[in-house]
Amino acid sequence: MRAHRDDDRGQVAVEFLGMVPLILLTLALLWQVVLVGYTYTLAGNAADEAARSGAVGDDCGEAAKRHLDGAWLDGAEVSCSPGEGMVTAVVTLRVPVLVPGVGGLFPVEAKAAAVDETGPTP
C-alpha cells in the first residue's frame, strides 16, 4: 500500500511547472488590457484639455502634451481645428506592448470639442 502512494511523489510540482507558462501568459494579457485602457484614458483626457485650452486661445498642442505621461508623449499626435464656433482637438496615441515606451500595437484616437470663447462677445 505504501509503495503505491510513493509513486505520485512530485506530481504537484510537475503539474505546477506545466501551468507556469499559462499563468504568465494570462498575467501578460491582463497587463496588456490595462495598458490599452490607460491609453484610452490618457488620450481622452489630453483631448479634453487641448480643446479647453484652444477654446480660450491658448496653444492646444502644448496643453495636450502637458497631460500625457512620458512613455505616451513620444509618439503623441495632436491636432486642433477651430470652426463653426467650436474648437475640436484630436489626440492620437499608440498603445505600448507590455512596457510603456516600447513599440506600439495600434493607435488610439480621442476627440473633444469646446465652444470657442475667443470670438466676438455679443
- Residue 120 lies inside a defined structural domain of this protein: no
Q: What pLDDT does residue 13 have?
A: 80
- Residue 35 lies inside a defined structural domain of this protein: yes
- Residue 121 lies inside a defined structural domain of this protein: no
- Residue 38 lies inside a defined structural domain of this protein: yes
Q: What pLDDT does residue 104 have?
A: 80
Domain that holds residue 7: 2-115
Mean pLDDT over the full length of the chain: 86
* pTM for this model (two decimals): 0.79
The 3-state secondary structure of the chain reads CHHHHHCCCCHHHHHHHHHHHHHHHHHHHHHHHHHHHHHHHHHHHHHHHHHHHHHCCCCHHHHHHHCCCHHHHCCCEEEEEEECCEEEEEEEEECCCCCCCCCCCCEEEEEEEEECCCCCCC
The model's pLDDT over 28-83, given as tens digits with 9 standing for 90+, comes to: 999 999 999 999 999 999 999 999 999 998 888 899 999 898 788 888 899 998 88
Domain holding 34: CATH number?
Answer: 3.30.1300
Give the total number of structural domains in the chain.
Answer: 1
